[in-house]
Structures are given as C-alpha cells and as structure tokens.
C-alpha cells in the first residue's frame, strides 16, 4: 500500500485563507465607509488642531505641535477601526447565524479566531498608511525608529482586533459595540495623551493617566515616529504587549470552548 501524501500547507490552511479573505473583502468593498471616512476625520483633526493650537502651543517635547499630535491621532484611528470592524463583523455573523457554518467547517478554533480578526487589522493598517501619506506633506512628521514603530503598531492591532472579536461575541444587540467604543475606547483615546503631554497635567491626573492602557499604546507609537514619549518605550511596548496577550488569550478561550458562540 502506498502512503497518502501529506496535504500541502496551502490546502491545510485554505479555510483560514477563505475566512480572512472574506473579512478583508468586507472592508474593501465598503471602503468609503471603512477607510475614507476615518482617514478624513483624523486628517481634519490634524489640520484644525494644528492650525488652531499650533500658535499657542508651539512645541511639545521639542516637537512642533502639529507634528506631535499625528502619532496620537493615528493611534486613535487605528484602534477604533480595528475594534469596531471586528465587533460588528462577529456580532453580524452571530446574528445571521453564519458563525455556525464557520464553526462547523474543518478549521481549528485558532484559525477561526485569526480569520475573523484579520479584517479589522487590515482596515486599521490601510487607514494608518493613508493618514501618514496625507500627514507627511502637511506636517513633515518623521519616522525615527521604524522597528519600534512596526512592533508597537502590530501589538496595538493584535490587542484591539481581539478586543473587537470579544465584544462581538458577548454583544446582545447592534448598539452594544458602539456603546463600548463611545463610552470606553474613545474617552481612553482622548485621555491617553493624543493631543497633549501628561507633563502638563497636575497631580493626581498624571498618576491616573498611567492607569490608562491607551496611554502606553500612544506612547509606544509616538516614540516610533518622534523618538520621544511621556513614558519609556520599553515600558510602553511591554504594557501594550501584555494587553495584546490578554486579549488574545480571552478570545482564544471563547473560540476553543464555543462559549456564547454555539448558543
């Protein structure tokens, strides 16, 4: 008897490739809503805040104010896009019971989790690239530490893509993901040093800012761009990585057990 040949990697992972491709296609087909709208909104923040406050707040950490706010706005746009995309996509899959077909497919739980997460990550990356392309000629923002920047962006996308999946699994109505974004993520983004350095804050607000996980995400990405931050890059990357690991572990548990998915 002849032994059967081992299936190729492409064959073994075609379910993952199909699911990830579907999620990315969902993003690109609605690009006016998923990519263009947040890019325009963030770019308007750069123009309005840079022009309006650039005269009174000339430099922060030795950096022009219109340049200083670019990494924070880029971070805010990315994490919101990664979260909202995956939260709504997973909830819709549950609402339409399409998720049952995915769970019944010959795919491992981590493949389903990863496939559903990639749409938000790709959307966030496309927004970031478009925003940088628009901001460069206007603000001349530098990229001083590209390796640290790439690592910070990757960790942030892992954390908030997974968080979006988690919220999509637990959501009981269409407005639940929006509620979490508007009540939790948006305020934490604004209070995480997007528009200011926490050095300007009086006590105890400086200390309270250190309890905000998005403060470290913004700090890590700002260091990658500008070479300066309110917190050391090692600590910022460490906290962002720990947040990402916790979110991945949580979402992996949900898919491994089928909790809230098979109901």
| 3-class state of residue 63 by DSSP | strand
pLDDT for residue 1 is more than 70: no
Q: How many CB atoms lie within 10 A of CB 21?
A: 13
pLDDT for residue 134 is more than 50: yes
What is the spatial distance between Cα 148 and Cα 157, in angstroms, rounded to a whole number?
14
Report the mean per-residue pLDDT for the chain.
Answer: 89
Residue 64 main-chain phi, psi, to 5 deg: -55, 140
Interaxial angle between packed helices 233-257 and 213-226, expressed in degrees from 0 to 180 and rounded to the nearest 10: 130
What is the spatial distance between Cα 243 and Cα 234, in angstroms, rounded to a whole number?
14
What is the spatial distance between Cα 138 and Cα 131, in angstroms, rounded to a whole number?
11
Q: Return the pLDDT at 224.
A: 96
Q: Return the pLDDT at 121.
A: 96
What are the tens digits of pLDDT across the range 2-39?
555 566 655 667 888 899 999 999 999 999 999 999 99
The DSSP call for residue 183 is I
């Amino acid at each position: 008897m002849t032994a059967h040949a081992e299936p190729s990697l492409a064959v073994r992972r075609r379910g993952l490739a199909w699911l990830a491709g579907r999620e990315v296609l969902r993003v690109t087909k609605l690009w006016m809503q998923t990519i263009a709208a947040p890019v325009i909104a963030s770019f308007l923040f750069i123009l309005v805040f840079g022009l309006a406050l650039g005269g009174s707040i000339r430099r922060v950490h030795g950096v022009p104010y219109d340049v200083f706010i670019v990494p924070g706005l880029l971070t805010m746009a990315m994490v919101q896009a990664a979260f909202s995309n995956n939260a709504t996509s997973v909830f819709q899959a549950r609402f339409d019971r399409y998720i049952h077909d995915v769970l019944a497919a010959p795919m491992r739980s981590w493949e389903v989790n990863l496939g559903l997460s990639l749409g938000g990550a790709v959307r966030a990356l496309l927004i970031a690239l478009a925003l940088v392309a628009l901001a460069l000629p206007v603000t001349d923002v530098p990229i001083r530490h590209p390796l640290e920047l790439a690592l910070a962006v990757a960790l942030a996308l892992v954390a908030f893509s997974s968080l979006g999946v988690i919220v999509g699994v637990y959501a009981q109505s269409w407005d639940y993901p929006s509620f979490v974004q508007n009540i939790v993520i948006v305020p934490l983004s604004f209070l995480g040093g997007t528009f200011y350095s926490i050095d300007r804050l009086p006590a105890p607000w400086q200390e309270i800012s250190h309890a905000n996980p998005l403060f470290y995400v913004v700090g890590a990405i700002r260091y990658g761009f500008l070479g300066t931050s309110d917190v050391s890059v090692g600590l910022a990357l460490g906290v962002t990585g720990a947040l990402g690991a916790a979110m991945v572990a949580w979402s992996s548990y949900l898919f491994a057990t089928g909790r809230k998915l098979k109901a």
